[in-house]
A = this chain, B = another copy of it.
Amino acid sequence: MSSETLSQVLDHIDATIQGATAHLIELLRIPSISTDPAHKNDCDRAATWLVEDLKSIGFEVSKRPTPGHPMVVAHAGSTGPHVIFYGHYDVQPVDPIDLWNHPPFDPAIEDGTKGAIIRARGSSDDKGQLMTFIEACRAWKTVHGTLPGKISLFFEGEEESGSPSLVQFMTDNAKELTADIALICDTGLFDYETPAIITRLRGNLAEEMMITGPSKDLHSGMYGGVAMNPARVLSKIIAALHDSDGRITIPNFYDGVPELSPEIAAQWDALGFKVDSFLGEVGLSELAGEQGYTALEMIWSRPTCEVNGMWSGYTGDGFKTVLPSQASAKVSFRLVGKQDPYKIRESFRNMVEGLLPRDCSVEFTGHGASSGSEMATSNPIFEAARTALSDEWAEAAAFAGCGGSIPIAGHFKSILGMDAMLIGFSRDDDALHSPNEKYDLRSFHKGIRSWARILHQINIS
């Protein structure tokens, strides 16, 4: 493979971008809302559309039934590094529909703040993104009659409804889905000019606690100042979860949290992350996290403990002088390194129980527990991808972290023993999960070119 091989493909991509956009529009017209039973057939139609499209590019492809919506699995090529590309064809619901400027399944090309955009539900999450990879494959096949290396595709139709069939499917089809690396296109650019390869994800642990004091709501005139108030107890517990430096006080919480290597810290510093505008966009001015860490370290490499919701007593209009019987909170943790979610759950629950006065009891409900993950960037495919992306974009690609938790990456690791490389082209203002979702046509076009470059680079490295 020569650089000529690649530049022919890139030229073809540029010349046929209109056709590629038309393909995407076809897929966006299918309202494949996975969580809504009324759209079950639409999910199936989207899977079928992908099957037919991939067949036309020369993939050996099948629609695979699950208890929910079907998976699509495709394979092509037999030599070279084996990559498996993951994306999802299902989309979020569109409510509230009246906030959309345009019908969500009637894709429209509009002028955005930075060039043309395509407006539709799923344009960015994730149909537009998964089509960048398919279009790169189509272009390569058209120009060279074959694909660069050994490529598998794996499309899910239940990502937006909690992926209930995913783990079982990956377990049942482990051999077929195992490759040298997983490529996941469901993330964003670092900034407008800088692509990102996500190499670390935080895990997630969520706990709901309900504290009960008196057996019923009491009159605060009669019992106020005498009876235990669970709203006050809950507040004390939440207040006790952090010290004055923003560190989490749960015993042994930081076990397994690695210190960042000076190399990576330096890389992140070099990214020139604009803390002021990051915070300013949401009305804030100062970092509220653990003292002694930069913003990117707080988001990408440090664990957190946050209250996502809490409630107690009377919350309607006006006043009821009730002394509540119960108080509840939803607390979630982002985990990194080798932090063990199950040990932390236990330690958290023990700490809460230790803070309860004798007259209060607590009931916990666990909601998911996953570890953080860090990819082995020593795998040369990471370096190949970084080179390829840096060639396409104005700025060099960043090895970045992600504050969120992307379960599929963890599944590739835990079920199939593979690293995953998360590369995506969405932008912060794409309105994922919100009304008026959009995808920049620039993201789509340069995304296709990026994958062509990455596939080329992987195969020549």
Contact = CB atoms under 8 A, between A and B. Distances in A.
B279 A220 contact: no
A23 interface: no
A2 interface: no
A404 interface: yes
A261 interface: no
Nearest to A237: B235
Size class of the contact patch on chain A: 35 or more
A266 interface: no
A316 to B, nearest CB: 8
A308 to B, nearest CB: 5
Contact of A214 (B284, B309, B358, B367): B284
Interface string A181-212: 00000000000000000000010101010000
A283 B215 contact: yes
Interface string A260-302: 0000000000000000000100111111111000010011001
Residue in A215, A290, A312 with the greatest tally of chain B CB atoms within 10 Å: A312
A221 B308 CA distance: 11
A334 interface: yes
A310 interface: yes
A232 B238 contact: yes
Interface stretch (A39-47, A84-92, A319-327): A319-327
A224 B310 contact: no
A343 interface: no
B307 A232 contact: yes
A285 B315 contact: no
How many copies of this chain are found per oligomer? 2
A231 interface: yes
Contact of A322 (B232, B302, B309, B368): B309
A130 to B, nearest CB: 21
Interface string A233-251: 0111011111000000000
Nearest to A238: B235
A37 interface: no
Contacts of A202: 221
Interface of A: 202, 204, 206, 208, 213-216, 218-229, 231-232, 234-236, 238-242, 279, 282-290, 295, 298-299, 302-304, 306-315, 318-324, 327-330, 332, 334, 357-359, 367-368, 402-405
27 contacts: A204-B321, A214-B282, A215-B282, A215-B283, A216-B282, A221-B402, A221-B403, A221-B404, A222-B403, A225-B289, A225-B334, A226-B299, A227-B284, A228-B286, A231-B307, A231-B308, A235-B235, A235-B236, A235-B310, A236-B239, A283-B359, A288-B357, A307-B312, A307-B324, A308-B324, A313-B330, A319-B332
